[in-house]
A and B are shown apart, each in its own frame.
Chain A
Amino acid sequence: MRASLFITCYNDTLFPETGRAVVRLLERLGVELDFHPKQTCCGQMHANTGFRGEAFCQAKRFVRMYQDVVAVVIPSSSCVAMIRDQYPGLFEELGNEELRRQFASLLPRVYELSEFVVDQLGVDDVGAYFPHRVTYHASCHGLRGIHLGDRPARLMNKVRGMEQVPLANLDRCCGFGGTFSVKNGEVSSAMLAVKLQDLMATRAEFCTALDNSCLMHLGGAMHRQYAGMKTIHLAEILASTEAEPAEALL
């Protein structure tokens, strides 16, 4: 199966190891992966801050770039939610009929990583090995935005050697919220403090998620506080094997 990877702007810049893990994972599962070199951003930051005109620029760019691909895989649930929830309204508002048609045809081919692996490849067991104690943070956009459901759990349950610990108040936001984290930095920090209490109570070594934006927020606080827990994108756990352990372990 062929697929094109949309890595997202912040993963490209800040979390290349997640991208490398996605490549390793999908190629191991037999996917012929492609990467459009001119990709940048989906426009989520602009749209969520109220810069709708700018968000539209990025949305248009995304649709034109990927209109011919078999599938777009995105390892960031909030960016997928942006495309599914906000692009329709943006194109509606602009009233560009051609773009709307292109988007309508592209939308069913846009997948979040766990959707692609479980639904499209039909795989639960990706052959991963990760001998650590791990807790899963269900990002709001993964949970309520694009309804990932049990897909992450199905993938995690098959990882050999991994001990899973459930996180209390799984449906509660960690307080990141994009520019919310700086526009309302203090409230964001208060929400973070509460989330960290739940995380620390798991005594896990790693907190994983399908969205590095929450993890940047949580991991940044863990680092600040010498909390003894690290964050890791689920793609990195799924890519990890005995022969090639996750980069975070090196």
Chain B
Amino acid sequence: MSGTSYHPVLDPALAPPFPKAVLPVLRNPQLRKNVAHAIDVIQAKRARLVAEKVDWQELRSAGAAIREHSLAHLGAYLEQFEARCTAAGGTVHWAADADEARRIILEILRQENASEVIKIKTMTSAEIQLNPFLEAAGIKAYETDLAEIILQLGHEEPSHIVVPALHVNRSQVREIFAQSMGIKDLSDDPKALTAAARNYLRQKFLTVPTAISGANFLVAETGSVAIVESEGNGRMCLTLPNTMITLAGIEKVIPRFQDLEVMLQVLARSATGERMNPYTSVWSGVTPGDGPQRFHVVLLDNGRSKILAKNTERQTLRCIRCAACMNSCPVYRQTGGHAYGSVYPGPIGAILTPQLMQMNYAQSLPYASSLCGACYEVCPVKINIPEVLLELRSQVVNQERGKAAKFFDPMYLGLRAANLIFSRAWLFHAAQYLGRVGLKLFTGKDGWIHRLPSIGGEWTQTRDLRGLPKQPFHSWWAARQKGGR
């Protein structure tokens, strides 16, 4: 947004490439312990609860089918949602991009004369950098989700989409609360910490009449918004304020109320390893005398319709933000979320972020994966993340390969040469010979290579490589044929 000075957080346009961003993280024992511990706990719970569902694969298929169907008829379902929500007393706004969404929300808040706003956890608001924008416009946003409070008070950034403060441990939370709330003798007992948060929150709930939420689902049939949460603070935001503004990506719509049956089952088990999340709030427009009397929905595109138009990539929009992919990801387990430089980290972030950035930023993210396939295996809506990663990688290569700067890049040079070599057997065999002779220079007396130059040095930083054997297999075979076995 031009002319406004605010400090964006986790902005993919400003983030360093993934291989650089991970370096400080990999050397941070506390962070790596916190992340691995939290992930292991969630993973174990999820595995237990998925295993008890004998029809889990059928549920996944049903979830995938509902989401795919919604996307195939997205325009129609969004219009139906708009009509039903409007009929129920809500106001629906359409925002083409982050800038428009921010302006719409600011305008509503100005009409409400709001100087403060309370928020239900919404990653979409972080996607559009809403908090710093509102702050610059003189409106203070207060998070009410416990993890989000920790981050806000500690001036930290989210590292996970379901448990955004996953990288922070109990004693760090104690420090943040003690400092920001001025409680000197606060203990790190979870009960004491939640009590402190409750005191802090209660005052906000009782004094701030305007609230912002995200949406887990938009139901076209009834014009309803559904929010799932664990703490009940979202429910407070849906009860006490006069005005509610819901910000939702356009892909969040599902056709029928009944579809929630499948979606809520797969979401809770995948996200937090629970049979059902503790609080599920579904509301349709405005109900006189009950809850917010003014209700707005801001439907955000911000690059989503471009993703929708693409065959392989479309499945990205099926995502219901359960984070099972990041919990299962061996890369995320080592790095946590911040290195992805986006509010959406992990495998889903690695495909979603560059696409939301229309491939202008975050091109290192499709490569932030060993393609192990664990994400696809756990995804409750069957997003083939490795397939999309590969598609995006090929787009990155197509972008870069024409550039003069990439011509002599060792990776590009090597892969172009390899293609030539693999296209003719005699060239391949000559390259094997030359490779062996060339590598002799680097091969130690023990027959192993301990240090290589250039891109090979990336390998030998932690791994040796056995020197090339004298006789490749095909030569052995040829000699054996000649010798008549």
Instruction: Check if A61 sits within 8 Å of B473, measured CB to CB.
Output: no
Distance of A223 from chain B, by nearest CB (Å): 4
**Distance in angstroms between the alpha carbons of A190 and B393 in the assembled complex:** 23
CB contacts (< 8 Å) of A23 on chain B: these are 477
CB contacts (< 8 Å) of B428 on chain A: these are 9, 40-41
**Distance in angstroms between the alpha carbons of A219 and B462 in the assembled complex:** 11
Distance of B379 from chain A, by nearest CB (Å): 12
Query: For the complex, is B359 an interface residue (Cβ under 8 Å from A)?
Result: no
Q: Which residues of B, 431-485, contact A by the 8 Å Cβ criterion? A: 432, 435, 448, 450, 455-456, 458-459, 461-466, 468-469, 471-474, 476-478
Instruction: Check if A191 sits within 8 Å of B331, measured CB to CB.
Output: yes
**Distance in angstroms between the alpha carbons of A35 and B475 in the assembled complex:** 11
Instruction: Check if A188 sits within 8 Å of B370, measured CB to CB.
Output: yes
CB contacts (< 8 Å) of A244 on chain B: these are none
Identify whether the interface residues of B are mostly helix, strand, loop, or mixed.
Answer: helix
Query: For the complex, is B65 an interface residue (Cβ under 8 Å from A)?
Result: no
0 or 1 for each of B370-401: is its CB under 8 Å from A? (1 = yes): 11111011000000000100101111111000
Instruction: Check if B468 sits within 8 Å of A14, measured CB to CB.
Output: yes
Of the listed stretches B97-105, B136-144, B272-280, B417-425, chain A binds B417-425
Instruction: Check if B330 sits within 8 Å of A191, measured CB to CB.
Output: yes
Instruction: Check if A51 sits within 8 Å of B473, measured CB to CB.
Output: no
Instruction: Check if A37 sits within 8 Å of B425, measured CB to CB.
Output: yes
**Distance in angstroms between the alpha carbons of A50 and B334 in the assembled complex:** 24
Tell me which of A20, A51, A219 contacts B397 (CB under 8 A). Answer: A51
Instruction: Check if B422 sits within 8 Å of A191, measured CB to CB.
Output: no
0 or 1 for each of A57-98: is its CB under 8 Å from B? (1 = yes): 110010000000000000000000000011001000000000
Q: Which residues of A, 19-57, contact B by the 8 Å Cβ criterion? A: 19-20, 23, 35, 37-41, 43, 45-52, 54, 57
Instruction: Check if A180 sits within 8 Å of B369, measured CB to CB.
Output: yes
Distance of B320 from chain A, by nearest CB (Å): 22
Query: For the complex, is B415 an interface residue (Cβ under 8 Å from A)?
Result: yes
**Distance in angstroms between the alpha carbons of A145 and B392 in the assembled complex:** 20
Query: For the complex, is A7 an interface residue (Cβ under 8 Å from B)?
Result: yes
- Would A175 and B370 be within 8 Å (CB), given that A19-B477, A182-B458, A223-B448 are in contact? yes
**Distance in angstroms between the alpha carbons of A57 and B421 in the assembled complex:** 11
Instruction: Check if B448 sits within 8 Å of A187, measured CB to CB.
Output: no
* B450 to A, closest residue via Cβ: A224
Distance of B355 from chain A, by nearest CB (Å): 15
* A144 to B, closest residue via Cβ: B373
Instruction: Check if A52 sits within 8 Å of B461, measured CB to CB.
Output: no
CB contacts (< 8 Å) of B376 on chain A: these are 144
- Would A184 and B390 be within 8 Å (CB), given that A7-B473, A194-B334 are in contact? no
**Distance in angstroms between the alpha carbons of A86 and B390 in the assembled complex:** 10
Query: For the complex, is A176 an interface residue (Cβ under 8 Å from B)?
Result: yes
**Distance in angstroms between the alpha carbons of A111 and B464 in the assembled complex:** 31
**Distance in angstroms between the alpha carbons of A49 and B419 in the assembled complex:** 12
0 or 1 for each of A174-213: is its CB under 8 Å from B? (1 = yes): 0111111111111111111010000000000000000000
Query: For the complex, is A238 an interface residue (Cβ under 8 Å from B)?
Result: no
Instruction: Check if A12 sits within 8 Å of B370, measured CB to CB.
Output: no
CB contacts (< 8 Å) of B32 on chain A: these are 190
CB contacts (< 8 Å) of A179 on chain B: these are 411
Tell me which of A11, A57, A173, A189 contacts B330 (CB under 8 A). Answer: A173
Instruction: Check if B459 sits within 8 Å of A182, measured CB to CB.
Output: yes
Instruction: Check if A49 sits within 8 Å of B423, measured CB to CB.
Output: no
Instruction: Check if B369 sits within 8 Å of A50, measured CB to CB.
Output: no
Instruction: Check if A191 sits within 8 Å of B334, measured CB to CB.
Output: yes
Interface centre among B376, B390, B448 (most CB of A within 10 A): B390
* A27 to B, closest residue via Cβ: B485
**Distance in angstroms between the alpha carbons of A86 and B331 in the assembled complex:** 23
Pull 5 A–B residue pairs with CB atoms less than 8 Å apart, ordered by A.
A15-B473, A50-B392, A50-B393, A182-B456, A184-B19
Q: A-side interface residues toward B, CB under 8 Å? A: 7, 9, 11-20, 23, 35, 37-41, 43, 45-52, 54, 57-58, 61, 85-86, 89, 140-141, 144-145, 171-173, 175-192, 194, 216-217, 219-221, 223-224
